[in-house]
A and B are shown apart, each in its own frame.
Chain A
């Protein structure tokens, strides 16, 4: 095999700290695979990385149109990167619709590599350009560095002897672009060659053609003169030594459930119904039978959670995963899990709503539903993950809380975390918290009768698992008598049980870690309080604000119900609290209600995650007002 690094002609190579790249094309152009391959290559080389796929909800939206544009954005760098980049430095536009849809997010002066075959009359019309207008030719892109590359034509030339149909040849053009980008960023293509050999091991002609296309793209960069002015770029990898894997949020959540089952000695059961963008959790766990994971693809969302309630009653670590419309359907069963006081993990991968809303787009608008979306008084713990890797730690923590406190727990992630990825230093089993199920031992005939609702010092009842002698008991949705669990309609008992159930959840605050600051000084002008996937954007923005000399700090909540015990104190250490949310201000309500303070909300409800520029601008405005 030729080594991509050594055969390259010497051109000017500029070192950069980080770069954000967007691969954009029609949803049939293979941009997701291209972006994923590029991400793998930079990750394996040791770069810091954050990726974000952005694609339409239709499997095949009309080709060539704006709604059919599929994008894969990634930022990689020498130092940690927490977002895919507010604006990209480089945009690959395979057609005119991809350019039109994404140009507003390209840095002024940024690089555009345009596949000119996608800018013909037909494509321009489909993208909605007026007749006779071609942005590559009319000077409208003069603020950018544009490289027109006839990708399709060059791919066809490279593969003219491949023996493949023209349709098959054209499907290789994404690999040509990938090769070109490898050249531009001084990256090796060998990993992709290996992937193609393995992926198409039964179709050697296809494998060969794709490999040829990658190399053709790479050497096109080498031989063409068009990049002479900018040369090549290098982002030196500086990641610490160690073993890593790249995970998406959904992968991390699935691993966490299986890991929590292993650590607790329980069997994992996931009852689930496919729903975007949560489905990969079910898909990943379906592949984890080697670790004993049992997955059940139910007939609907209700059966998904109810099967898990049955499994939890049977002594399994039971979980269900869903997205907003599914969580709505599960609310009645969630109330049952609350009153039965059984462990259950509910992962809600939020998406834009209401109703079907924006199925493939992230939003943080299910916080109220997670907190209050049940009838009756039915509090339960709510935790939220802040990054793809944190989906592992937060889901694992949700499982720990569920099992140790005998309660359903809602773990909030969203469509952004679910599909984004970042490198994860492979975790050691010893570093994971112990999970200790409250399993009740068998009862001897001389022992007093078993009391299903007798509680320990944390008000947690014991878990009496079928098959255990002497603990036979019946529980369900009807209000139960304190301790005995027998059906009771007594007014005083109902009030007592309502308060006991609430107090049990409130006391979880005694066992969870105190809130820490992610960044900034302990006292100051402004605290940016975040939750969920806005973490990276807030972190980056607060970093920049502190660099500018602003008195700003960042705290990010994992525990939303109950809050960490010191949160009130932290909030009181700043003149102002800013809460950015991808919703209409739901955490603002809860914070105001709980602490009687007046935080400033910052809402974005566009089906897009925050970027650091927006948050920095808001911070700057607030600091100036103070």
Chain B
């Protein structure tokens, strides 16, 4: 701790606690932790005004590694804890570290309700499509057919699409990034932190032990260009090696076009508008297609949706302020109530 103005002087190191991360070597969580620590100095928020809240799982150990305030709670319940903290203390910057099991399975109810209420939280969702801490059971985002210790014949539960779930729940910010692309992840985390309301960043995070290479189709240098599309506001949806492919909308149907072969120009392509919930809903559905399948759509990376809507704590604070516009109630008034009577 120093007394120097934190907005100019802090670095990633200032946000590192004295605890050594205990994640497996090669785990994507290390990279995410590094990017979170590197983004915080840019926010201009002193470490004592930041809190990290988590549930249970590999990703949920993250608060221990931050030199901020933090709660490592119980399985699935990080979001209500964070909501309560933010409602009581709107002045704090509150972050939630969670995983696909924690947020979407045991905490599924809290996930949808938090998104619709829109407290100003930054949710970092580590999606590795597997349960890591309990050693390799399938998760609610595991692909159909995945063989795990609890699905020896293959997963038969249809997986959640976190983007569709978030947008369908009334979420106001959804973005996607990779653990392996640190620079881009950092830019997305910064955007998410600046969003007023609940920001949800789904991070494709590799679990080298129990679900290695789950994201290789999108992360490996030789094929990623064909399988991913980096979204930029008001820019056409272009992808592929040399950006020669694009997405055109035929009504509500997204179609992959080859700019060189089809004669379609970039002017005819889908222009990304992150404020358009209808387009965001279609973009969210891109994740339902398997990259190896016929007519596969590239996986959108970046900000799919961002909406400006009043936050839960602002609305609550406003109601309290309104009730107190003629002054806060005194203890004596509280005890007397408005239905008292006098016996003479």
Contact = CB atoms under 8 A, between A and B. Distances in A.
Contacts of A466: 48-49, 51, 69, 85, 89, 92
A375 to B, nearest CB: 11
A474 B70 CA distance: 4
B71 A296 contact: no
B343 A313 contact: no
Contact of A426 (B2, B110, B330, B340): B340
B166 interface: no
A269 B87 contact: yes
Majority-rule SS of B interface residues: mixed
Interface in B68-92: 68-74, 77, 79-89, 91-92
B344 A245 contact: no
B221 interface: no
Given A244-B341, A245-B340, A466-B48, A294 B320 contact: yes
A472 B64 CA distance: 11
Given A294-B88, A474-B63, A289 B336 contact: no
Given A313-B71, A333-B74, A289 B324 contact: yes
Interface string A286-300: 001111101010111
B329 A476 contact: no
A524 B322 CA distance: 59
B319 interface: yes
Contact of A245 (B48, B110, B331, B339): B339
Given A263-B331, A292-B320, A303 B77 contact: yes
B328 interface: yes
Contacts of A428: 332, 335
Contacts of B329: 288, 290-292
Given A259-B331, A292-B328, A307 B74 contact: no
Given A243-B341, A302-B80, A476 B110 contact: no
Interface residues of B, number: 63
A587 B87 CA distance: 39
Interface residues of A, number: 72
A310 B339 contact: no
A247 B339 CA distance: 10
B46 interface: yes
B47 interface: yes
Contacts of A443: 1
A473 interface: yes
Contacts of B89: 311, 314-316, 466-467
Contact of A336 (B73, B330, B331, B336): B73
Contacts of B72: 474-478
Contacts of B71: 309-310, 313, 340, 474-476
Given A290-B323, A477-B72, A314 B85 contact: yes
Contacts of A240: 343
Contacts of B113: 298-299, 303
The A interface is mostly helix, strand or loop, or mixed, namely mixed
A336 B69 contact: no
A516 B157 CA distance: 61
Nearest to A302: B77
Contact of A309 (B56, B68, B73, B331): B73
A545 interface: no
A311 B84 contact: yes
Contact of A306 (B73, B332, B334): B73
A195 to B, nearest CB: 11
Which one of B49, B51, B335 has the greatest number of beta carbons of chain A within 10 Å?
B335
B341 A300 contact: no
B263 interface: no
B295 interface: no
A73 to B, nearest CB: 21
B245 to A, nearest CB: 42
A477 B74 contact: yes
A43 interface: yes
A550 to B, nearest CB: 35
Given A296-B83, A333-B77, A486-B19, 6 more contacts: A333-B74, A429-B331, A443-B1, A474-B17, A474-B71, A478-B72
26 contacts: A243-B336, A244-B340, A245-B336, A255-B335, A255-B337, A262-B334, A267-B88, A289-B322, A291-B329, A307-B81, A309-B84, A311-B85, A311-B89, A313-B51, A313-B81, A428-B335, A445-B3, A472-B67, A473-B69, A473-B70, A474-B52, A474-B64, A474-B72, A476-B63, A476-B71, A477-B56
7 closest Cβ pairs, A-B complex: A476-B72, A307-B84, A310-B84, A289-B323, A474-B70, A310-B85, A303-B80
